[in-house]
Amino acid sequence: MKKAYILLFGLVLFTGLINAQKKDKSTKKADTEAFPFFITKTKPNRPLSAAVARNYDAYEAVRPEQNELYTQFKYTKLKGFDYNNGDGTITRRDPSKVIFENGKYYLWYTYRNTPVKPVGMARAKEATETIPSSDWDLSEIWYATSDDGFTWKEEGVAVPRPPKPQPGWRSVTTTDILKWKGKYYLYYQAFMEASGLRGDFCPVAVSYADSPDGPWTAANQVVIPNGPEGAWDQYSIHDPYPLVHDGKIYLYYKADFDKRPELNPSKIRMQGVAIADNPLGPFIKHPLNPVLNSGHETTLFPFREGVAAIVQRDGMEHNTIQYAKDWINFEIASITELLPVAAGPFVPDAFTDTKNGQGITWGISHFINAGGNWNHTELARFDCDLSLEVDDQGMKEHYYQYSPEFHYTHKLSAKQLERIKQQTEKLKK
Ligand code: AAL
Protein backbone atom coordinates (compact mmCIF):
# COMPACT_ATOMS: atom_id res chain seq x y z
CA MET A 1 0.00 0.00 0.00
CA LYS A 2 2.78 2.42 0.99
CA LYS A 3 4.53 1.79 -2.35
CA ALA A 4 1.27 2.64 -4.17
CA TYR A 5 1.08 6.01 -2.38
CA ILE A 6 4.74 6.81 -3.25
CA LEU A 7 4.14 5.82 -6.89
CA LEU A 8 0.98 8.02 -7.04
CA PHE A 9 2.81 10.97 -5.45
CA GLY A 10 5.69 10.57 -7.93
CA LEU A 11 3.20 10.47 -10.85
CA VAL A 12 1.43 13.64 -9.64
CA LEU A 13 4.77 15.43 -9.15
CA PHE A 14 6.02 14.39 -12.64
CA THR A 15 2.78 15.49 -14.31
CA GLY A 16 2.96 18.81 -12.48
CA LEU A 17 6.53 19.36 -13.67
CA ILE A 18 5.59 18.54 -17.30
CA ASN A 19 2.63 20.96 -17.16
CA ALA A 20 4.78 23.67 -15.58
CA GLN A 21 7.32 23.23 -18.36
CA LYS A 22 4.53 23.32 -21.01
CA LYS A 23 3.11 26.49 -19.38
CA ASP A 24 6.54 28.00 -19.28
CA LYS A 25 7.09 27.21 -22.96
CA SER A 26 3.60 28.48 -23.94
CA THR A 27 4.27 31.71 -22.03
CA LYS A 28 7.64 31.99 -23.77
CA LYS A 29 5.88 31.15 -27.09
CA ALA A 30 3.37 33.95 -26.40
CA ASP A 31 6.28 36.29 -25.58
CA THR A 32 8.17 35.40 -28.78
CA GLU A 33 4.91 35.78 -30.75
CA ALA A 34 4.29 39.38 -29.39
CA PHE A 35 3.89 42.06 -32.05
CA PRO A 36 7.47 43.10 -32.94
CA PHE A 37 9.13 46.28 -31.67
CA PHE A 38 10.50 46.99 -35.17
CA ILE A 39 7.34 46.93 -37.29
CA THR A 40 7.68 45.04 -40.55
CA LYS A 41 7.14 46.92 -43.81
CA THR A 42 5.05 44.08 -45.18
CA LYS A 43 2.04 42.56 -43.49
CA PRO A 44 3.20 39.77 -41.15
CA ASN A 45 1.71 36.25 -41.36
CA ARG A 46 0.13 36.29 -37.89
CA PRO A 47 -3.22 37.13 -36.33
CA LEU A 48 -3.72 40.92 -36.43
CA SER A 49 -6.35 43.21 -34.95
CA ALA A 50 -8.63 45.00 -37.43
CA ALA A 51 -6.76 48.27 -36.83
CA VAL A 52 -3.30 46.87 -37.45
CA ALA A 53 -4.51 44.86 -40.45
CA ARG A 54 -5.95 48.12 -41.80
CA ASN A 55 -2.64 49.84 -41.19
CA TYR A 56 -1.19 47.45 -43.79
CA ASP A 57 -4.14 47.03 -46.14
CA ALA A 58 -5.60 50.55 -46.37
CA TYR A 59 -2.48 52.73 -46.62
CA GLU A 60 0.60 52.70 -48.81
CA ALA A 61 2.98 52.78 -45.80
CA VAL A 62 2.82 51.69 -42.18
CA ARG A 63 3.80 55.16 -40.97
CA PRO A 64 2.65 58.61 -42.10
CA GLU A 65 6.08 60.01 -42.97
CA GLN A 66 6.55 57.29 -45.59
CA ASN A 67 3.07 57.77 -47.09
CA GLU A 68 3.29 59.83 -50.30
CA LEU A 69 -0.32 60.90 -49.80
CA TYR A 70 0.17 62.10 -46.22
CA THR A 71 1.22 65.68 -45.58
CA GLN A 72 0.85 68.60 -43.27
CA PHE A 73 0.08 72.04 -44.64
CA LYS A 74 1.93 75.34 -44.14
CA TYR A 75 0.34 78.73 -44.85
CA THR A 76 1.67 82.10 -46.07
CA LYS A 77 -0.15 85.46 -46.28
CA LEU A 78 -0.19 86.70 -49.87
CA LYS A 79 1.04 90.13 -50.98
CA GLY A 80 -0.73 92.25 -53.60
CA PHE A 81 -4.38 92.00 -52.60
CA ASP A 82 -6.21 94.83 -50.77
CA TYR A 83 -9.39 94.14 -48.78
CA ASN A 84 -10.49 97.68 -47.79
CA ASN A 85 -9.28 97.02 -44.23
CA GLY A 86 -11.60 94.02 -44.00
CA ASP A 87 -14.80 96.10 -44.03
CA GLY A 88 -16.58 93.42 -46.04
CA THR A 89 -16.93 95.44 -49.25
CA ILE A 90 -14.21 93.44 -51.03
CA THR A 91 -13.86 89.68 -51.09
CA ARG A 92 -11.61 87.31 -53.02
CA ARG A 93 -12.34 83.62 -52.66
CA ASP A 94 -12.69 80.16 -54.22
CA PRO A 95 -9.44 80.26 -56.20
CA SER A 96 -8.92 78.24 -59.37
CA LYS A 97 -6.04 75.85 -59.91
CA VAL A 98 -2.82 77.77 -60.56
CA ILE A 99 -1.28 77.44 -64.05
CA PHE A 100 2.13 78.53 -65.38
CA GLU A 101 2.10 80.31 -68.76
CA ASN A 102 4.11 83.13 -70.40
CA GLY A 103 6.78 82.75 -67.69
CA LYS A 104 4.47 83.41 -64.75
CA TYR A 105 1.73 81.94 -62.58
CA TYR A 106 -1.94 82.65 -63.28
CA LEU A 107 -4.84 82.47 -60.83
CA TRP A 108 -8.56 83.16 -61.19
CA TYR A 109 -10.99 83.72 -58.31
CA THR A 110 -14.37 85.11 -57.22
CA TYR A 111 -14.09 88.90 -56.79
CA ARG A 112 -16.79 90.97 -55.11
CA ASN A 113 -16.52 94.77 -54.67
CA THR A 114 -19.81 96.19 -53.38
CA PRO A 115 -20.69 99.44 -51.56
CA VAL A 116 -21.71 97.46 -48.46
CA LYS A 117 -20.92 94.08 -46.95
CA PRO A 118 -23.30 91.12 -47.45
CA VAL A 119 -26.57 90.98 -45.50
CA GLY A 120 -26.21 87.18 -45.27
CA MET A 121 -28.06 84.35 -47.02
CA ALA A 122 -30.79 84.28 -44.36
CA ARG A 123 -31.69 87.87 -45.34
CA ALA A 124 -31.39 87.31 -49.11
CA LYS A 125 -34.78 88.97 -49.59
CA GLU A 126 -33.12 92.27 -48.64
CA ALA A 127 -30.47 91.90 -51.36
CA THR A 128 -30.63 94.40 -54.19
CA GLU A 129 -28.56 95.27 -57.27
CA THR A 130 -25.96 96.74 -54.89
CA ILE A 131 -26.58 94.92 -51.62
CA PRO A 132 -25.15 91.37 -51.75
CA SER A 133 -26.86 88.47 -50.01
CA SER A 134 -23.88 86.14 -49.55
CA ASP A 135 -20.14 86.80 -49.69
CA TRP A 136 -20.14 85.55 -53.31
CA ASP A 137 -23.28 87.37 -54.52
CA LEU A 138 -22.90 90.19 -57.15
CA SER A 139 -19.44 88.83 -58.02
CA GLU A 140 -17.23 88.55 -61.10
CA ILE A 141 -14.30 86.33 -62.05
CA TRP A 142 -11.04 88.24 -61.73
CA TYR A 143 -7.47 87.11 -62.22
CA ALA A 144 -3.96 87.80 -61.01
CA THR A 145 -0.42 86.83 -62.02
CA SER A 146 2.74 86.19 -60.04
CA ASP A 147 6.44 85.48 -60.59
CA ASP A 148 6.83 83.51 -57.33
CA GLY A 149 3.40 82.47 -56.05
CA PHE A 150 3.71 84.71 -52.99
CA THR A 151 3.35 88.26 -54.40
CA TRP A 152 0.50 88.71 -56.87
CA LYS A 153 -0.44 91.43 -59.37
CA GLU A 154 -4.18 91.81 -59.76
CA GLU A 155 -4.82 92.04 -63.52
CA GLY A 156 -8.57 92.75 -63.35
CA VAL A 157 -11.78 91.17 -64.58
CA ALA A 158 -11.72 87.99 -66.68
CA VAL A 159 -15.43 87.09 -66.75
CA PRO A 160 -17.92 89.87 -65.89
CA ARG A 161 -21.53 89.24 -64.97
CA PRO A 162 -23.35 88.84 -68.31
CA PRO A 163 -26.62 90.69 -69.05
CA LYS A 164 -29.94 89.07 -68.10
CA PRO A 165 -31.06 86.41 -68.93
CA GLN A 166 -27.64 84.88 -69.63
CA PRO A 167 -26.43 82.27 -67.11
CA GLY A 168 -24.63 84.11 -64.29
CA TRP A 169 -26.31 87.51 -64.71
CA ARG A 170 -26.69 87.79 -60.90
CA SER A 171 -23.22 86.48 -60.05
CA VAL A 172 -20.40 84.44 -61.61
CA THR A 173 -18.30 82.68 -58.99
CA THR A 174 -16.09 79.76 -57.96
CA THR A 175 -14.23 79.25 -61.17
CA ASP A 176 -11.64 76.79 -62.42
CA ILE A 177 -9.39 76.65 -65.43
CA LEU A 178 -8.95 74.06 -68.19
CA LYS A 179 -6.32 74.20 -70.93
CA TRP A 180 -7.43 72.04 -73.84
CA LYS A 181 -5.87 71.86 -77.32
CA GLY A 182 -4.21 75.26 -76.88
CA LYS A 183 -7.34 77.10 -75.76
CA TYR A 184 -8.38 78.12 -72.25
CA TYR A 185 -11.74 77.53 -70.55
CA LEU A 186 -13.09 79.00 -67.32
CA TYR A 187 -15.95 77.05 -65.74
CA TYR A 188 -17.92 78.87 -63.05
CA GLN A 189 -21.09 78.89 -60.99
CA ALA A 190 -23.71 80.90 -62.85
CA PHE A 191 -26.24 82.40 -60.44
CA MET A 192 -29.57 83.59 -61.79
CA GLU A 193 -30.89 84.63 -58.35
CA ALA A 194 -29.36 86.00 -55.18
CA SER A 195 -27.72 83.15 -53.28
CA GLY A 196 -29.87 82.31 -50.28
CA LEU A 197 -33.25 83.26 -51.75
CA ARG A 198 -34.16 79.56 -52.12
CA GLY A 199 -30.69 78.23 -51.36
CA ASP A 200 -27.24 78.34 -52.90
CA PHE A 201 -28.73 77.30 -56.21
CA CYS A 202 -26.92 77.50 -59.53
CA PRO A 203 -25.72 75.51 -62.56
CA VAL A 204 -22.28 75.79 -64.19
CA ALA A 205 -21.45 77.85 -67.28
CA VAL A 206 -18.21 78.38 -69.24
CA SER A 207 -16.22 81.07 -71.06
CA TYR A 208 -13.26 80.51 -73.38
CA ALA A 209 -10.21 82.39 -74.70
CA ASP A 210 -7.10 81.92 -76.85
CA SER A 211 -4.91 83.34 -74.07
CA PRO A 212 -4.95 83.14 -70.26
CA ASP A 213 -5.12 86.95 -70.39
CA GLY A 214 -8.36 86.79 -72.37
CA PRO A 215 -10.43 88.26 -73.85
CA TRP A 216 -12.96 85.70 -72.67
CA THR A 217 -16.08 84.80 -74.65
CA ALA A 218 -19.06 83.50 -72.70
CA ALA A 219 -20.56 80.36 -74.25
CA ASN A 220 -23.88 81.73 -72.90
CA GLN A 221 -25.03 78.22 -72.12
CA VAL A 222 -25.22 75.99 -69.07
CA VAL A 223 -22.68 73.17 -69.50
CA ILE A 224 -23.27 71.30 -66.23
CA PRO A 225 -27.01 71.48 -65.62
CA ASN A 226 -28.74 70.93 -62.32
CA GLY A 227 -29.94 67.37 -61.85
CA PRO A 228 -33.57 66.25 -62.32
CA GLU A 229 -36.12 66.89 -59.56
CA GLY A 230 -35.39 64.72 -56.56
CA ALA A 231 -31.78 64.15 -57.59
CA TRP A 232 -28.90 64.88 -55.15
CA ASP A 233 -27.65 67.66 -57.44
CA GLN A 234 -31.02 69.14 -58.38
CA TYR A 235 -30.24 72.57 -56.94
CA SER A 236 -26.52 73.22 -56.70
CA ILE A 237 -23.69 72.44 -59.09
CA HIS A 238 -20.75 73.96 -57.22
CA ASP A 239 -16.98 74.11 -57.48
CA PRO A 240 -16.46 72.93 -61.08
CA TYR A 241 -12.97 71.38 -61.29
CA PRO A 242 -11.72 70.07 -64.67
CA LEU A 243 -8.81 67.67 -65.20
CA VAL A 244 -7.79 65.74 -68.33
CA HIS A 245 -7.80 61.94 -68.16
CA ASP A 246 -8.10 59.18 -70.72
CA GLY A 247 -8.37 61.73 -73.53
CA LYS A 248 -11.46 63.30 -71.90
CA ILE A 249 -12.37 66.15 -69.58
CA TYR A 250 -13.22 64.91 -66.08
CA LEU A 251 -15.07 67.78 -64.40
CA TYR A 252 -15.57 67.15 -60.68
CA TYR A 253 -18.18 69.22 -58.81
CA LYS A 254 -19.89 69.45 -55.44
CA ALA A 255 -23.58 69.57 -54.55
CA ASP A 256 -25.34 70.51 -51.32
CA PHE A 257 -28.37 68.33 -50.63
CA ASP A 258 -30.70 66.76 -48.05
CA LYS A 259 -31.40 70.14 -46.40
CA ARG A 260 -33.55 69.42 -43.35
CA PRO A 261 -34.28 72.55 -41.26
CA GLU A 262 -34.66 70.42 -38.14
CA LEU A 263 -31.01 69.38 -38.43
CA ASN A 264 -28.04 71.66 -37.89
CA PRO A 265 -25.85 71.72 -39.98
CA SER A 266 -28.73 71.03 -42.24
CA LYS A 267 -27.05 69.95 -45.45
CA ILE A 268 -24.99 67.08 -46.75
CA ARG A 269 -22.23 67.87 -49.24
CA MET A 270 -20.79 65.30 -51.65
CA GLN A 271 -18.94 65.43 -54.95
CA GLY A 272 -19.61 64.01 -58.39
CA VAL A 273 -17.95 63.95 -61.80
CA ALA A 274 -19.19 64.75 -65.32
CA ILE A 275 -17.18 63.63 -68.34
CA ALA A 276 -16.99 65.12 -71.84
CA ASP A 277 -14.98 64.85 -75.05
CA ASN A 278 -15.46 68.55 -75.74
CA PRO A 279 -14.95 71.47 -73.32
CA LEU A 280 -18.37 72.89 -74.23
CA GLY A 281 -20.03 69.54 -73.56
CA PRO A 282 -22.12 67.57 -73.52
CA PHE A 283 -20.91 66.51 -70.08
CA ILE A 284 -22.22 63.12 -68.98
CA LYS A 285 -22.64 62.72 -65.21
CA HIS A 286 -21.17 59.45 -63.97
CA PRO A 287 -23.77 56.86 -62.97
CA LEU A 288 -21.98 56.27 -59.65
CA ASN A 289 -22.30 59.93 -58.62
CA PRO A 290 -21.67 61.11 -55.94
CA VAL A 291 -18.12 59.68 -56.08
CA LEU A 292 -16.79 61.47 -52.95
CA ASN A 293 -18.91 61.20 -49.79
CA SER A 294 -17.32 64.27 -48.17
CA GLY A 295 -15.60 67.56 -48.87
CA HIS A 296 -16.90 71.12 -49.17
CA GLU A 297 -14.98 72.34 -52.24
CA THR A 298 -13.29 70.26 -54.94
CA THR A 299 -9.50 69.89 -54.94
CA LEU A 300 -7.98 67.04 -56.96
CA PHE A 301 -4.79 66.19 -58.82
CA PRO A 302 -3.51 63.32 -60.99
CA PHE A 303 -1.42 60.94 -58.87
CA ARG A 304 0.33 57.89 -60.31
CA GLU A 305 -2.30 56.34 -62.62
CA GLY A 306 -5.21 57.64 -60.56
CA VAL A 307 -6.45 60.86 -59.03
CA ALA A 308 -6.08 62.16 -55.47
CA ALA A 309 -8.44 64.51 -53.63
CA ILE A 310 -8.04 66.83 -50.65
CA VAL A 311 -11.29 66.31 -48.72
CA GLN A 312 -12.03 68.99 -46.13
CA ARG A 313 -14.77 70.52 -43.98
CA ASP A 314 -17.89 68.41 -44.60
CA GLY A 315 -18.87 64.78 -44.45
CA MET A 316 -18.06 61.56 -42.68
CA GLU A 317 -14.58 61.50 -44.18
CA HIS A 318 -13.50 65.13 -43.96
CA ASN A 319 -9.87 65.85 -43.06
CA THR A 320 -8.66 63.11 -45.39
CA ILE A 321 -6.68 62.78 -48.58
CA GLN A 322 -8.32 60.23 -50.84
CA TYR A 323 -7.26 58.31 -53.93
CA ALA A 324 -9.10 56.69 -56.84
CA LYS A 325 -6.99 54.49 -59.11
CA ASP A 326 -9.90 54.51 -61.63
CA TRP A 327 -10.73 58.22 -61.05
CA ILE A 328 -14.17 57.16 -59.72
CA ASN A 329 -13.92 54.90 -56.67
CA PHE A 330 -12.13 56.78 -53.90
CA GLU A 331 -10.51 55.29 -50.80
CA ILE A 332 -8.97 57.12 -47.84
CA ALA A 333 -5.21 57.41 -48.38
CA SER A 334 -4.41 59.39 -45.26
CA ILE A 335 -5.92 61.44 -42.45
CA THR A 336 -4.47 64.88 -41.73
CA GLU A 337 -5.29 68.28 -40.27
CA LEU A 338 -5.46 72.02 -41.05
CA LEU A 339 -6.33 71.18 -44.67
CA PRO A 340 -6.50 74.07 -47.17
CA VAL A 341 -10.08 75.25 -47.76
CA ALA A 342 -11.29 75.67 -51.37
CA ALA A 343 -7.75 74.87 -52.48
CA GLY A 344 -6.62 75.60 -56.03
CA PRO A 345 -3.29 73.75 -56.29
CA PHE A 346 -0.56 74.28 -58.87
CA VAL A 347 -0.96 71.02 -60.82
CA PRO A 348 1.70 70.86 -63.56
CA ASP A 349 0.14 67.72 -65.11
CA ALA A 350 -3.52 68.72 -64.74
CA PHE A 351 -4.08 68.76 -68.53
CA THR A 352 -1.35 66.44 -69.87
CA ASP A 353 -3.48 63.27 -69.65
CA THR A 354 -0.63 61.82 -67.64
CA LYS A 355 -0.48 58.12 -66.76
CA ASN A 356 1.87 58.90 -63.88
CA GLY A 357 0.67 61.96 -61.99
CA GLN A 358 3.46 63.54 -59.96
CA GLY A 359 1.32 65.34 -57.37
CA ILE A 360 1.45 68.82 -55.85
CA THR A 361 3.50 70.96 -53.46
CA TRP A 362 1.56 74.25 -53.25
CA GLY A 363 -1.44 76.28 -54.30
CA ILE A 364 -3.85 78.99 -53.22
CA SER A 365 -6.71 78.51 -50.74
CA HIS A 366 -8.96 80.85 -48.79
CA PHE A 367 -10.08 81.81 -45.27
CA ILE A 368 -13.80 82.63 -45.11
CA ASN A 369 -13.61 84.18 -41.68
CA ALA A 370 -10.95 86.74 -42.56
CA GLY A 371 -13.07 89.62 -41.30
CA GLY A 372 -15.55 87.83 -39.12
CA ASN A 373 -17.59 85.10 -40.81
CA TRP A 374 -19.42 85.98 -44.03
CA ASN A 375 -18.00 89.51 -44.15
CA HIS A 376 -15.22 88.82 -46.57
CA THR A 377 -12.81 86.08 -47.53
CA GLU A 378 -9.11 86.34 -48.25
CA LEU A 379 -6.80 84.26 -50.41
CA ALA A 380 -3.71 82.59 -48.95
CA ARG A 381 -0.92 80.31 -50.12
CA PHE A 382 -0.59 76.74 -48.84
CA ASP A 383 2.41 74.45 -49.20
CA CYS A 384 2.55 70.70 -48.71
CA ASP A 385 4.33 67.53 -49.85
CA LEU A 386 1.90 65.47 -51.89
CA SER A 387 4.51 65.02 -54.59
CA LEU A 388 6.47 62.05 -55.93
CA GLU A 389 9.20 64.51 -56.90
CA VAL A 390 9.75 65.90 -53.40
CA ASP A 391 10.48 64.27 -50.04
CA ASP A 392 10.02 67.08 -47.52
CA GLN A 393 10.01 65.43 -44.10
CA GLY A 394 9.27 68.89 -42.66
CA MET A 395 5.78 68.37 -44.07
CA LYS A 396 5.37 64.89 -42.57
CA GLU A 397 5.29 65.48 -38.81
CA HIS A 398 2.48 63.57 -37.09
CA TYR A 399 0.58 66.52 -35.56
CA TYR A 400 0.47 70.24 -34.88
CA GLN A 401 0.50 71.70 -31.36
CA TYR A 402 -2.49 73.99 -30.91
CA SER A 403 -1.97 76.51 -28.07
CA PRO A 404 -4.19 76.49 -24.96
CA GLU A 405 -5.48 79.92 -26.09
CA PHE A 406 -6.53 78.43 -29.42
CA HIS A 407 -8.43 75.68 -27.58
CA TYR A 408 -10.08 78.20 -25.26
CA THR A 409 -11.49 80.08 -28.27
CA HIS A 410 -13.78 77.06 -28.77
CA LYS A 411 -16.05 77.77 -25.81
CA LEU A 412 -19.09 75.92 -24.37
CA SER A 413 -22.42 77.46 -25.35
CA ALA A 414 -24.95 78.58 -22.72
CA LYS A 415 -27.07 75.54 -23.66
CA GLN A 416 -24.13 73.16 -23.12
CA LEU A 417 -23.27 74.82 -19.78
CA GLU A 418 -26.88 74.38 -18.69
CA ARG A 419 -26.84 70.68 -19.66
CA ILE A 420 -23.65 70.17 -17.68
CA LYS A 421 -25.16 71.96 -14.68
CA GLN A 422 -28.25 69.73 -14.82
CA GLN A 423 -26.07 66.60 -15.01
CA THR A 424 -24.18 67.65 -11.88
CA GLU A 425 -27.39 68.56 -10.03
CA LYS A 426 -28.76 65.10 -10.86
CA LEU A 427 -25.74 63.46 -9.20
CA LYS A 428 -26.35 65.43 -6.01
CA LYS A 429 -29.96 64.23 -5.60
C1 AAL B 1 -17.85 77.96 -51.65
C2 AAL B 1 -18.17 76.95 -52.75
C3 AAL B 1 -19.25 77.53 -53.66
C4 AAL B 1 -20.47 77.85 -52.84
C5 AAL B 1 -19.97 79.04 -52.06
C6 AAL B 1 -19.28 79.83 -53.15
O7 AAL B 1 -17.12 77.39 -50.61
O8 AAL B 1 -18.57 75.72 -52.20
O9 AAL B 1 -18.85 78.83 -54.10
O10 AAL B 1 -21.52 78.26 -53.70
O11 AAL B 1 -19.04 78.51 -51.09
370, with CB counted inside 10 A (0-12, 13-18, 19+), is: buried
Give the C-alpha distances (Å, rounded to integers) separating 132 from 370, 376, 390. 18, 11, 43
The alpha carbon of 201 and the centre of ligand 1 are apart by a number of angstroms equal to 10
Q: Are 90 and 82 contacting, i.e. CB atoms less than 8 angstroms apart?
A: yes
Give the Cα separation of 208 and 216 in Å (integer).
5
pLDDT per residue as tens digits for the range 316-331: 999 999 999 999 999 9
Shortest CA distance to 309 belongs to which of 326, 324, 296? 324
Peptide bond into 215 cis (omega under 30): yes
Per-residue pLDDT, averaged over 96-117, amounts to 98
Predicted TM-score (pTM) above 0.85: yes
pLDDT per residue as tens digits for the range 53-75: 999 999 999 999 999 999 999 99
pLDDT per residue as tens digits for the range 334-368: 999 999 999 999 999 999 999 999 999 999 999 99
Q: Are 107 and 146 contacting, i.e. CB atoms less than 8 angstroms apart?
A: yes
Looking at the chain, how many residues does it have?
429
Which residue(s) pair with 294 in the sheet? 315
pLDDT at residue 14, rounded to an integer: 61
- Element (H or E) spanning 28, and its range? helix 2-32
pLDDT per residue as tens digits for the range 207-232: 999 999 999 999 999 999 999 999 99
pLDDT per residue as tens digits for the range 153-170: 999 999 999 999 999 999
Shortest CA distance to 341 belongs to which of 308, 372, 318? 318
Q: Are 107 and 364 contacting, i.e. CB atoms less than 8 angstroms apart?
A: yes
The set of protein residues with a Cβ atom below 6 angstroms from ligand 1 is: 94, 136, 173-174, 189, 200, 238-239, 254, 296-297, 342
Q: Are 90 and 112 contacting, i.e. CB atoms less than 8 angstroms apart?
A: yes
Model confidence band, residue 389 (pLDDT cutoffs 50, 70, 90): very high
pLDDT per residue as tens digits for the range 235-282: 999 999 999 999 999 999 999 999 988 887 789 999 999 999 999 999
Give the C-alpha distances (Å, rounded to integers) separating 71 from 52, 65, 395. 21, 8, 6
Q: Are 192 and 170 contacting, i.e. CB atoms less than 8 angstroms apart?
A: yes
| Ligand 1 atom at minimum distance from 297 CA | 8
The alpha carbon of 200 and the centre of ligand 1 are apart by a number of angstroms equal to 8
The alpha carbon of 239 and the centre of ligand 1 are apart by a number of angstroms equal to 7
How high does pLDDT run on average in the chain?
93
410, with CB counted inside 10 A (0-12, 13-18, 19+), is: exposed
pLDDT per residue as tens digits for the range 125-143: 999 999 999 999 999 999 9
Model confidence band, residue 373 (pLDDT cutoffs 50, 70, 90): low
Per-residue pLDDT, averaged over 9-17, amounts to 61
**How far out from the chain centre does Cα 97 lie?**
13
How is residue 375 annotated by DSSP?
T
pLDDT at residue 31, rounded to an integer: 43
pLDDT at residue 243, rounded to an integer: 99
Closest protein CA for atom 7 of ligand 1: 297
pLDDT at residue 353, rounded to an integer: 98
229, with CB counted inside 10 A (0-12, 13-18, 19+), is: exposed
Name the CATH code of domain 74-406 (choices 3.40.50.12280, 2.115.10.20, 3.90.470.20, 3.40.50.2300): 2.115.10.20
Which residue(s) pair with 299 in the sheet? none
Whether the per-residue pLDDT at 11 is higher than 80: the answer is: no
Provide the percentage of residues in the chain whose pLDDT is more than 70. 92
